[in-house]
Chains A and B, each alone.
Chain A
Amino acid sequence: MEYFLQQLINGVTLGSVYGLIAIGYTMVYGIIGMINFAHGDIFMVGAFVALISFILFALTGISLPIVLILVLLIAMVFTACYGWTVEKLAYKPLRKSFRLAPLISALGMSIVLQNYVQAAQGARIKTLQPVIQGGFNFFKKSEFVVTLSYLQIFIVLVTIVLMAIFTLLITRTALGRAQRACEQDRTMTALMGINVDRTISTTFIIGSSLASVAGVMFVMYYGVIDFYIGFLAGIKAFTAAVLGGIGSIPGAMLGGLLIGLIETFWSGYISIEYKDIAAFTTLVIVLIFFPTGFLGKPDIEKV
């Protein structure tokens, strides 16, 4: 029971990270119908920006809460630049091209980002000293002490706050309306006087900033990153997006939580070596049996 509870806590934390990345996939898919293969690497860039800023702020001696907010903001701004540029360079010229062209271009962009970071920052793994330490301990009398660290609370709280802001943005603002309109019919939206290009750019900016927050959390939670983390995290987050129903934003968060839980329980109870297989198998099973996911709309093919 205690062990189960611990896995649950870890799974929810991991799920928050995946959920934040998955939103980027699902939004881009909703609006331009492509899988942004480079999104995982955008997350990786976010983690690196966070790492660099943590190291720099460690020299200044600013108090922790301010550092956290600053790092989050810095990571969001700089990573959003990457998302915006990638869209402008690699996807925008291909909007009217054949179906697989954006995917191949995204694949190329992913290779570029990975190796660029490797060239600029070195191939070795980078370790960050723990930023937030300590936590609550439960069941101190039993054999297995369940720990809920402050860091985990921070991660889940930030995710909830961001999700709330983000949901408000999508449902209540003009920008959100424009975005939802673009998802339904881009030509019609343009005729209604909405700048479609700008809306798509904004989508990429929002998606990348959320991924960068996931990156900040990842570097704080694991303390170890390298240029390759985006690949696996990207596939898992994509799985989360598909599981929740691609194109659906609450679905992405739900899918992220589920993937996080599946992965932690799999490595807790079955086998830690094959934990990545758990995510991949989920992906295959979901795509075969419920291709629309939990909250997705059915995909109708028209001639």
Chain B
Amino acid sequence: MGKDLIQKSLKDSLFTGIIALALFGPIVGLRTVAKNEVLVVEPKWFIVLLIVAFCAVGRFFINIYSYKKEQRRGEPSSLGKAISNFLDEKGSQIAIAAIAFSIIFPFMPFADRYWMDIAIMMMTYIMLGWGLNIVIGLAGLLDLGYVAFYAVGAYSYALFAIHFGWSFWICLPIAGVFAGMFGILLGFPVLRLRGDYLAIVTLAFGEMIRILLLNWYELTKGPDGLTGIPRPSFFGLPFKRYPDEGVETFHTFFGLEYDPMQRIIFLYYLILILALITNAFTIKIRRLPVGRAWEALREDEIACKSLGVNPRNTKLTAFAIGAMFGGFAGSFFATRQAFISPESFTFIESAIIVAIVVLGGMGSQTGVVLSTIFLIGLIEVFRDFESYRMVAFGGAMVLIMIFRPRGILAKRKPTIIMGKQG
């Protein structure tokens, strides 16, 4: 029996090795390099050999291991389930602790410029994740073009602020409304499509917006991007070292030394508040009739129709609200960067946000936070390995779908259950 197994595994790993050789041989082993403007091939057989050996040996051990596991056949212990239960029990305490931590974070001794920038970036993604969670997690609509709304928000904020000189607090709602309107505009025709068609159409829409931004030079300055987007001010007090004559600034008003960190900390709190508003809104709307209709639609559209829920209008609200929060995040992005170009709104951005929602567990608010910290952290740590980190990122998406298709913290429990008290 044992000998038979080893023989079988050896055969299998040999086969794996051959396949790996076919896969990696040409693409990895024969690198095309331009020499004097002519492409030549540069062989890299050693790396291929390493990869092939790794695949074959790995396959061998997986075979043996899975055979042993089959013999034992125990109940698989699931880490995710344990975390999920833990969070369910202590959920509110942990949430309060996390919020408290994020409030005092800027005053931590280690929170220098670098950490603050990462924190702001993570908060932006958390907010985008929460916004998209309304669309994917609650309403069950896979939107692969969410970045379009982010872009619409950013550009409408930038254009209004540059051309009309309106302040952040006026432009922010306008940007949100614009993005929401785009959501309705797109959603109206396409929301009756089936899930996977919808995904592709939203993807196409996202690309269309990007191409439009790239080519409509008169309005968007095309690939050059928009520069000189006004920075936000603290209730009318700008963050400037040398203000214009007679203008009071943040540091003179409060009698502080000027410090560029003041603006960073202000931006941090701004995005924190925006993100928390998104979260609070989602938690509230889940319990309202429209939120319940979203979750019901996600589970069974036909049953919903027969109970008199209008699927299109219900989906449209989810789409528009999700888009609106994307627009808010976009205007924050524009004001933080002071420069935006179509480069920032590529498809990969959408893919990252979708991955955050899916990895966290569709519909789970805590999951979004955890997966943002994990994914953005991963991307940040491997900053110097541009394409390898994206390989790992895509691979993670595949693995999660295979091993935990519902995400780390899958929350598929209906928010409200009938007949169950307390």
Which of B83-91, B193-201, B277-285, B330-338 is the contact stretch?
B193-201
Q: Which residues of A contact B390 (CB under 8 A)?
A: 111, 114-115
Check: B40 CB closer than 8 A to any chain A CB: yes
A108 engages B396 (CB within 8 Å): yes
How distant is the Cα of A237 from the Cα of B405 in the complex, in angstroms? Answer: 28
Residues on the A chain within 8 Å of B398, using CB: 89-90, 105, 108-109, 112
Interface residues on B, range: 35 or more
Residue in A48, A98, A107, A274 whose Cβ sees the most chain B Cβ within 10 Å: A107
Chain A nearest CB, measured from B320 CB (Å): 18
Q: Is the CB of A235 within 8 A of B354?
A: no
Residues of chain A within 8 A of B194, CB atoms compared: 299
Pairwise interchain contact A118-B387, C-beta atoms closer than 8 A: yes
Chain A at the B interface: SS class: helix
Within 8 A of B (CB), among A87-126: 89-90, 93-94, 97-105, 107-124, 126
Q: Are A273 and B388 closer than 8 Å at their CB atoms?
A: no
Shortest distance in angstroms between A290's beta carbon and chain B's nearest beta carbon?
12
Please indicate the chain A residues that have their CB under 8 angstroms from the CB of B347 in the complex: 231
Distance to closest chain B CB from A104 (angstroms): 5
**Interface flag for B190 (CB, 8 Å):** yes
A94-B387 in contact given A48-B27, A81-B23 (Cβ < 8 Å): no
The answer to the question of A82 belonging to the interface, with a C-beta cut-off of 8 Å to chain B, is yes
**Which of A160-168, A183-191, A279-287 lies at the binding interface?**
A279-287
Q: Which of B23, B26, B402 has the most CB of A within 10 A?
A: B26
| Residues of B24-44 whose CB lies within 8 A of A | 25-28, 30-34, 38-41
A221 within 8 A of B: no
- Whether B358 is near chain A, meaning CB under 8 Å from some CB there, is yes
B22 touches A112 (CB 8 A): no
A81, B28: Cα distance in complex, Å: 15
Contact A276 B31 (CB under 8 A): no
Let me know if A287 and B387 touch, CB within 8 A: no
- In the bound assembly, the distance between CA atoms of A52 and B24 in angstroms comes to 13
Q: Is A300 an interface residue, CB under 8 A from the partner?
A: no
Is B275 close to A, CB under 8 A? no
Check A116 against B27 for contact (C-beta < 8 Å): yes
Measured CA separation A214–B35 after assembly (Å): 27
Q: Which of chain A's residues have a CB closer than 8 A to the CB of B212?
A: 277
A244-290 interface with B by 8 A CB criterion: 273-274, 276-277, 280-281, 283-284, 287-288
A182 CB contacts on chain B under 8 angstroms:
none
B186 to chain A: closest residue by CB = A284
Interface code B66-108, partner A: CB below 8 Å = 1, 0 otherwise? 0000000000000000000000000000000000000000000
Taking a contact as CB atoms under 8 Å apart, the answer to whether B204 and A288 are in contact is: no
A52–B23 touching, CB < 8 Å: no
Determine how close the nearest CB of chain A comes to the CB of B219; give it in whole angstroms: 14
Question: CB distance A103 to B41 under 8 Å?
Answer: no
A51 smallest CB distance to B (angstroms)? 6
Q: Are A274 and B215 also in contact (CB < 8 A) when A55-B32, A78-B26, A97-B401 are?
A: yes
**For chain A residues 45-66, which have a beta carbon within 8 Å of chain B?**
45, 48-49, 51-53, 55-56
Whether B196 lies near A108 (C-beta < 8 A) is: no
Determine if B22 and A81 form an interchain contact, defined as CB atoms under 8 angstroms apart. Answer: yes
Q: Is B142 on the interface with A (CB-CB < 8 A)?
A: yes
Q: Does B205 interact with chain A (Cβ within 8 Å)? A: yes
Contact of A94 among B199, B351, B405 (CB under 8 A): B405
Q: B416 contacts the other chain (Cβ, under 8 Å)?
A: no
6 additional A-B residue pairs with CB within 8 Å, beyond A78-B23, A103-B196, A111-B390:
A85-B19, A108-B394, A110-B394, A117-B27, A123-B387, A238-B200
A-B contact pairs, 15 of them (CB 8 A): A90-B398, A90-B401, A90-B402, A93-B402, A99-B196, A104-B397, A105-B402, A107-B394, A118-B387, A120-B27, A126-B39, A238-B200, A283-B200, A287-B193, A288-B193
